[in-house]
Amino acid sequence: RDLVAPDAEGDERLIEAALRPKRLDEFIGQARVREQLSLVLQSALRRNRPPDHVLMSGGPGLGKTTLSMIIATELSVPLRITSGPALERAGDLAAILSTLSEGEVLFIDEIHRMARPAEEMLYLAMEDFRVDIVVGKGPGATAIPLEVAPFTLVGATTRAGLLPAPLRDRFGFVAHMDFYEVAELEQVLHRSSRLLGLELPGDAAHEIAGRSRGTPRIANRLLRRVRDFAEVRSGGVVTRDVASAALNLYEVDAEGLDRLDRAVLGALLRKFGGGPVGLSTLAVAVGEEPETVEVVAEPFLVRQGLLARTPRGRVATAAAWLHLGLTPPPDAFG
């Protein structure tokens, strides 16, 4: 399992649950989203009505699930969690909607991957708080309307652009989550190390934060690897050098690029001379789905100034050649 893969699996979910901020004022970074959301919640509480539906867009590990939990906590209402891929049939969604309690928050992760019939049922539920249950088949089929308690939908997607417009338009508020600044990740790390009972000097936090790919989940994961390393090699004492040695051992590079990032850059440079090359060709070259390359690897590479998306395809920058220690062909960059 890749150390810097942005998704969480297995035991990690338990640790994540313990490290999750519970209230909006504990949530670090994303200042604009926090302020916007705080207004939405406060006015809903004042009117004593469920707030508008909220869509959160942003890469894995940036805090979408955490925020949905915070929304429910701040409103003092229950939270139901499901995901787009789990809603294969309209009936799967109807079963959830029909058992929601008044004001409940329904969180649908990866909402862009919901099946079409469920999606259509959701439109009606979001707008009119009712669903039509179709009974029977063919000409004898009838639609039985069913009331749904007023609820708040919180949808999460890796890219708002992946959602069909009619669904996107039914959200009253779209929160765009971006990569975190190094200083913000340092705060995340200090908070987590307090919770883990670990002493973390500022320069060690800085070292880990800089290699965390702008992502709190990765920061927390690297912190645990550094702690493991320190326990075995340095009597539990974490210093900047210990952090750096641990991360080198786990092959997290100085800019936090992971195996997929390096594979994408490597293919772009070595197989396609730096591009331009189309997304699907590049994805085949690294043996991944185009969506994974586009949603997981590229946003970070673009942000680091290593890759550019152009109308003619993906292109490596001069910094990319430098980062992988390669020499660009003489005609590159004009």
Q: Is 158 a catalytic residue?
A: yes
Nearest approach, Cβ of 321 to ligand ADP (angstroms)?
32
Alpha helices by DSSP H, the chain: 11-19, 31-47, 64-75, 90-97, 116-128, 165-168, 182-196, 202-210, 216-233, 240-249, 259-270, 279-286, 290-292, 298-303, 318-323
User: Is 91 marked as a binding-site residue?
Assistant: no
Which of 168, 217, 221, 227 is flagged as catalytic? 217
Q: Is 271 a catalytic residue?
A: no
Identify whether the C-beta of residue 274 lies closer than 8 Å to the C-beta of residue 293: no
User: Is 217 marked as a binding-site residue?
Assistant: yes
Closer residue to ligand ADP, CB minimum distance, 5 or 332? 5
Nearest approach, Cβ of 304 to ligand ADP (angstroms)?
20
Closer residue to ligand ADP, CB minimum distance, 30 or 193? 30
Closer residue to ligand ADP, CB minimum distance, 123 or 173? 173
Nearest approach, Cβ of 60 to ligand ADP (angstroms)?
4
Closest CA to 6 of 260, 250, 183: 260
Q: Is 109 a catalytic residue?
A: yes
What gap in Å lies between CA 301 and CA 306, rounded to an integer?
Answer: 5
Residue nearest to ligand ADP (CB): 63
User: Is 256 marked as a binding-site residue?
Assistant: no
Which of 7, 32, 47, 65 is flagged as catalytic? 65
Identify whether the C-beta of residue 267 lies closer than 8 Å to the C-beta of residue 282: yes
User: Is 3 marked as a binding-site residue?
Assistant: no
User: Is 317 marked as a binding-site residue?
Assistant: no
Nearest approach, Cβ of 169 to ligand ADP (angstroms)?
23
What gap in Å lies between CA 171 and CA 245, rounded to an integer?
Answer: 46
Bridge partners (DSSP) listed for residue 155: 55, 108
User: Is 258 marked as a binding-site residue?
Assistant: no
Closest CA to 260 of 308, 298, 212, 234: 298
Q: Is 203 a catalytic residue?
A: no
Closer residue to ligand ADP, CB minimum distance, 31 or 237? 31
Nearest approach, Cβ of 273 to ligand ADP (angstroms)?
35
Nearest approach, Cβ of 208 to ligand ADP (angstroms)?
14
Which of 64, 211, 221, 227 is flagged as catalytic? 64
**Residue type at 62 in one-letter notation:** L
User: Is 25 marked as a binding-site residue?
Assistant: no
Which of 152, 158, 215, 317 is flagged as catalytic? 158
Helix (H) or strand (E) holding 134: strand 130-135
Interacting residues toward ligand ADP by CB under 6 A: 16, 19-21, 27-30, 60-66, 188, 216-217, 220
Instruction: List, as one string, the DSSP characters of 211-223.
Output: TSTT-HHHHHHHH
Closer residue to ligand ADP, CB minimum distance, 188 or 264? 188
Coil, strand or helix: which one is 157? strand
Q: Is 217 a catalytic residue?
A: yes
**Measured torsion, CA atoms of residues 284, 331, 258, 286, in degrees rounded to the nearest 10:** 10
Positions annotated as catalytic residues are: 64-65, 109, 158, 217
Q: Would you list which residues are annotated within the binding site? A: 19-20, 61, 64-66, 127-129, 170, 180, 217, 309, 314
Q: Would you list which residues are annotated within the binding site for DNA? A: 309, 314
